[in-house]
Amino acid sequence: MVRKMGVYAVLAFCLYGLFFYWYLFHFANTTLPFEYQGSKADPSTFLNGRELSLSEEYSKVRNLLFFLSTPFEWLFYFLILLFGFSKAFKRWADSSTKYKVLQMPIYLIWLSFFAFVATFPLNYINYSLSKTYHISTQSFPSWMKDELIDFWISYGTWLIIVPVLYWLMKKSKKRWWLYGWMLSVPFTLFMMFLQPVVIDPLYNDFYPLKNQELETKILALADKADIPAKHVFEVNMADKTNAMNAYVNGIGSSARIVLWDTTLNRLNDNQILFIMAHEMGHYVEKHIYFGIAGYLLLSLFGLYLTHRLMNWAIKHWGKELKITDIRDIRSLPLFFMILSMLLFVSSPLSNLVSRYEETRADRYAIEMTKNPEAAITSFQELSRSGLSQVNPPLLVKIFRYTHPSMLDRISMLEEYEIKHRHK
C-alpha cells in the first residue's frame, strides 16, 4: 500500500507538470488583443525582436518552474512521511542527546537539511536560467551565500514556532490552532518590524540615497502627501541583478522606502518620481496594515483548516504515514505539506487583493505626478529589464501576479494621458 501511494503521488506530480508544460508552451495565448496592438502597451513598440523572443522564452520556463516548485514541496513532505524518514529523524534526534529540549531542534535540522537538498536542484535551475538570460548578474558563491542565509533564517524562525505549536497541541489538542494564532499576531508584527532593519541587511547593504538632488525631489513629494519621511534608502543590487525594483516595507519607526540602485541607474528622475509616488500611495492608503490584517485573518482560517486536515489524514492514513497522533513531532512534514497547499490554494485571492492595491497605488501616483509619459516609459523599462510578459497567461496571472500585468498598467496610464491631453 505504501509503495502504491508513493507511485500514485509521483505519477500525479508528473501529470500535473505535463499539464502546465502543455498549457504554457502550447495552449496559452499571450498575443495582445487587437485593440491594444500598436498602443504604448504593445511590447513590439518598445522591445526589439530579440527582446520579444527572449521575453517569451524566459517567461515560459520561469512560469513552469514556479508551477512545479510548490507541488514538489508537497511531494517531498509526503514521501518523507510515507517512507519513514520522519520517523528516522525522530530516532536520530532521540539517540543524539538525552536532553529532550534539544531533541526537537535536532529533528528540525534534519528535516530542514533534507528539504534544502531536495529543493536545491530547482532553485539552482532558477538561478542558472536568470543568469542565461542576463537577468541575474550574481556569482555562484554570492547566490550560495544567500541560499544559506535563507536556510538559517527559515530554520531559526521555525525553531521558535514549532516547539510552541507542539507544546500547545499537547496542552489543548482541540484548540491549539486558536492559541497558536493568537501568539502569531505579536510575532508577525515583531518580524515585520525586524525585516528592514535586521533581516534585509543580511543580504545587501542599505544606505540613504546618495543623489541628494533626487532625494530632495522625493521628500518634496512625500511632504505633499503628508508623509513624515526623512530618508529614502538605496540598496546595492547591481552585483546581483539587472532587474529593477522599489518597495516599501516595515512598520512604525522601521518603515522604509527602498530603491534598487539598478532602478536609479536605468531610469531618469521623472520616472523615479512616479515610482516613488506609487510607493507613497501604498503608505497613504495604509496598504501595509491592510495586508497584515488580511494575512492574520487568512492565517486564522489556515491554522484551523490545518488542524482539521491533519486529524483527518492521520485518522485515515496514519498507519501508512507512520503517525499515530497529531501531537507527535513526526507529524511536522504533514503540517508543512498542508500549510503549503493552503497557501497555494489561497494565493489567487491574496494576489487579487494585492493587484487591486497596486492599481490604487498606480492611480495615486499618476494623480500626484501628472506625468503619464514618465510613468509609461518607466513600466516599459521595467518590462525590458526583467523580460516580463506584457500579457501573461490567465493561470500565471491568477497564481503568480501580485501586480497588474504591464498591459493593464500601461493601458490605464494611456487612458489617463488621452483623457487629460487637452486639459
Which residues are known catalytic residues? 279, 362
Own/partner contacts of 48-57, CB < 8 Å, gap of 24 or more, are 51/384, 51/387, 54/133, 54/387, 55/383, 55/387, 55/388, 55/389, 56/30, 56/389, 57/133
CA–chain centroid gap for 238, Å, is 21
Cell of 180: 497558536
149: which residues sit within 8 A by CB, 6+ positions away?
202, 203
Question: Residue 235, exposed/middle/buried by CB under 10 A (0-12, 13-18, 19+)?
Answer: buried
Residue 358 assigned as binding residue: yes
Q: Tell me the C-alpha distance between 320 and 54, whole Å.
A: 46
DSSP-derived secondary structure for 46-73 = TS-HHHHHHHHHHHHHHHHHHHHHHHHH
Cell of 169: 497541541
Question: Residue 298, exposed/middle/buried by CB under 10 A (0-12, 13-18, 19+)?
Answer: middle
Q: Tell me the C-alpha distance between 308 and 174, whole Å.
A: 9
CA distance to 169, 174, 176, 338, 342, per residue, from 311 (Å)? 12, 10, 13, 11, 16
Cell of 66: 514556479
DSSP-derived secondary structure for 159-182 = HHHHHHHHHHHHH-TTTHHHHHHH
Q: Tell me the C-alpha distance between 363 and 3, whole Å.
A: 55
Residue 282 assigned as binding residue: yes
Residue 373 assigned as binding residue: no
Q: Tell me the C-alpha distance between 195 and 291, whole Å.
A: 15
Strand 206-208 relative to strand 233-235, pairing: antiparallel
Give, in degrees to the nearest 5, the angle at Cα 57 between 405 and 262: 60
Q: Which residues pair with 235 in a beta bridge?
A: 206, 260
Q: Tell me the C-alpha distance between 266 and 201, whole Å.
A: 23
Question: Residue 273, exposed/middle/buried by CB under 10 A (0-12, 13-18, 19+)?
Answer: buried
CA distance to 159, 252, 354, 409, per residue, from 151 (Å)? 12, 28, 27, 35
Known binding site for Zn(2+): residues?
Answer: 278, 282, 358
Known binding site: residues?
Answer: 278, 282, 358
